Amino acid sequence: MDDASTRTLPAAGGAAPPRRSAGGGLHRFANPGRFLRLSGRILPWLTGVALAVLAVGLPWALVFSPADWQQGETVRLLYIHVPMAWLAMGGYLGLAIGSAIALVWRHPLVDLACRELSPVGAAVTALCLATGSLWGKPMWGTWWVWDARLTSVLVLFFLWLGHAALVRAFDDAERGARMGAILALIGVVNLPVVKFSVDWWNTLHQPASVTRISAPAMHVDILYPLLACALGFTLAFAALVLARTRAAVMERRIRALQVAAARRADARGAGA
Amino acid sequence: MTLHWMHVAAGYALVLGGFGALAIGAALRHRAARTTLARLDPRAVRRGGA
């Protein structure tokens, strides 16, 4: 049992008052019972809305949107590649913000959420690289180039993997979370490199076409299904992280209960 | 099926398969934790804490 879980987890059920500290109101949400009740209500709705949006967005992208005059049918890969890229970067920004909160306020639920976020973030970054590669072969004639954008996204993938491995590498979970948080905050310098690599260097990867200051450089027939897919995958990503965090909170409570039961058994054995 | 469509199909299969695998993994883990917690602390589960 680690310090982080004993600090806020009640022995049997989640009714303990929240700990008051420098974090102020934030610590109201450190109560695992409250988190489980709230997330238990949100999760089915989040999952349902994600599936509904994807049920609209994916057929729109695959069937009803037009083929591109230059790229042909391969343009349909962008409807999954771009959301994965946005999630990889946005998710990492979320990880960095969560890590800062966890370091400053020692918020154990944020620690757990960061721990559960990084494998999902690594998965979407891997999917971003794989779908980009599948798009690159017919369009560029190669699966991979050591282009600034591709290389910086590969570095982002290693940062996600590194965080996932580091937080699990320590027997003391709180120490692992702290090390992971430091890595996440150091790694955040890679985000502007990913974003602006296409402007700073002469890359094979095309420059931004949706998130331009002036206006998106694509027709609405492509832009709208892209935004629908991005919204659907973002909601699915959030639902996945929430479900994993719920499972992790329950697993910590299980460990706390098992440790308490073992201590009671030891005490009975010593008294007999 | 053209080469372009093969790449598109592989991309969608990867993404949907990846998200599906993560969702199944999370659901199985969640169910196992809930079952164990219900055995160890039935009152907490009845209160809606799991």
Contact B38, B50 (CB under 8 A): yes
Q: Which pLDDT score is estimated for A5?
A: 40
Q: Where are the domains of chain A?
A: 37-267
pLDDT score for A213: 52
d(CA A82, CA A152): 15
Residue B7 contacts residue A138 (beta carbons within 8 Å): yes
Does A16 contact chain B (CB < 8 Å)?
A: no
pLDDT at A15: 41
pLDDT tens by residue, B1-39: 788 889 999 999 999 999 999 999 999 999 999 899 888
Q: What pLDDT sits at residue A31? A: 79
Q: Average pLDDT for consecutive 10-residue bins of chain A (272 residues)?
A: 40 43 58 86 95 95 86 90 96 96 88 94 97 92 91 96 95 90 94 89 76 66 92 97 94 89 85 66
All residues of chain B having their beta carbon less than 8 Å from the beta carbon of residue A73 are: 2, 4-5, 8
pLDDT at position A26 is 59
Closest listed residue to residue A122, CA positions, set A95, A97, A94, A159: A159
The Cα angle at residue A56 between residues A64 and A58, in degrees rounded to 5: 65
pLDDT at position B18 is 96
Contact between A113 and A198 (Cβ < 8 Å): no
Which pLDDT value is given to residue A9?
A: 42
Contact B47 A40 (CB under 8 A): no
- Minimal CA separation from B36 to chain A, in Å: 7
DSSP secondary structure letter of residue B48: T
Token pair recorded at residue A17: 């008052």
Whole-angstrom CA distances from A52 to A47, A224, A258, B29 are 9, 16, 40, 24
The closest CB to that of B26, out of A137, A244, A261, belongs to A244
Residue A79: other Cβ atoms inside 10 A:
27
Quote the pLDDT of residue B50.
59
Pick B14's closest partner by Cβ from A127, A253, A257: A127
Residue A35 sits at the chain B interface (C-beta within 8 Å):
no
pLDDT the model gives residue B32: 94
Residue A19's pLDDT is what? Answer: 47
Map residue B19 onto helix, strand or coil.
helix
- 8 A C-beta contact, residue A40 and residue A246: yes
CA distance A47 to chain B (A): 10
Q: Which two tokens stand for residue A123?
A: 């998965």
| Per-residue buried b or exposed e for B4-37, using 16+ beta carbons within 10 Å of the residue's own CB | beebbeebbebbeebbeebbeebeebbeebbebb
- Residue of chain B with shortest Cα separation from A258: B40
What Rg value do the Cα atoms of chain B yield, rounded? 19
